[in-house]
Amino acid sequence: MKYVEGFVVAVPAANKEAYQKLAAATAPLFKEFGATRIVECWGNDVPDGKLTDFRGAVKAEADEVVVFSWIEYPSKAVRDEANQKMMTDPRMKAFGDKMPFDGKRMIFGGFESILDQ
């Protein structure tokens, strides 16, 4: 079964184009390192919850939009190897100074697929 790494981040609405450009520029690198699919979703129906919600999870401010994304890999081992390569690849480091969001508020995690229909 495939392995999925998911992300939720708050992006200033004014930075949508910059975020899209960053996603488009980094996607080929993720694929080069073993990803089979990259999906980026710009929130347009992200309600406030009573106990918890996406906005609260990333401490989204009033002018920010929640982005939900995931990267699929053939296995956790491929994901782990890809992450190591990304940490040392100078092309990825070049993007580090230009992030159109606050990476400290990003949440992420790896998930083993248990159903895929």
Residue 83 belongs to what domain range? 20-112
Q: What is the pLDDT of residue 98?
A: 74
Q: Is residue 73 domain-resident?
A: yes
The count of structural domains within the chain is 1
Q: Is residue 99 domain-resident?
A: yes
State how far Cα 5 lies from the chain centre: 8
Q: What is the pLDDT of residue 109?
A: 96
Q: What is the pLDDT of residue 73?
A: 98
Return the half-sphere exposure (C-beta side, CA atoms, 13 A cut-off) of residue 59.
7
CATH number for position 68: 3.30.70.100
Q: Is residue 13 domain-resident?
A: no
CB 59 within 8 A of CB 3: no
Q: Is residue 58 domain-resident?
A: yes
Q: Is residue 29 domain-resident?
A: yes
Q: What is the pLDDT of residue 92?
A: 82
**Six-digit token pair at 100?**
């159109």
Q: Is residue 10 domain-resident?
A: no
Q: What is the pLDDT of residue 1?
A: 73
Residues in the chain, pLDDT under 50? none
The closest of 36, 37, 103 to 69, measured between CA atoms, is 37
CB 19 within 8 A of CB 100: yes
pTM surpassing 0.75?
A: yes
Q: Is residue 1 domain-resident?
A: no
Q: Is residue 14 domain-resident?
A: no
